[in-house]
Amino acid sequence: MLKFIDSLLLLFRSCFHRFAAFKWFVVLIIGLMIRSDCLGITSVIRDLSLNPKGYESMIHFFRSSAWSLGELRQQWLRVVLKFAPLKREAGAVILIGDGVKQAKEARYMPGVKKLFQESDD
């Protein structure tokens, strides 16, 4: 599995003008894959046992001019089409998703479609 992930991440090397930015990309992707909670970069640092002094460098990665979101997005599409061919119907891509039902109790919840949902309580 690690060899497969490594081979996939190496396909993104051409999207980065500097090798250091590519290394941060790999660290962040691996960290996001294995993190134990959803606290962003803090989770990545904690779960990869990185030095907390690297926090600023990780934040800087997202503002770096060493990579382009457009190039990264195009490469992502090429990788997905190569390794996970998509189902097409009349030229449109079909995405299959599974909605997660979680109980919510607040009245105002950004991103929630309906006010009244199924609840456990």
pTM of the model: 0.69
Q: Indicate the residue type of 15.
A: C
SS3 at position 31 = helix
How many beta carbons lie within 10 A of that of residue 18, not counting itself? 12
25 burial type by CB count under 10 A (0-12 exposed, 13-18 middle, 19+ buried): buried
Of the pLDDT bands very low, low, confident and very high (cuts 50, 70, 90), residue 105 is low
For the segment 14-28, the average pLDDT, to the nearest whole number, is 94
pLDDT at 117 over 60: no
SS3 at position 6 = helix
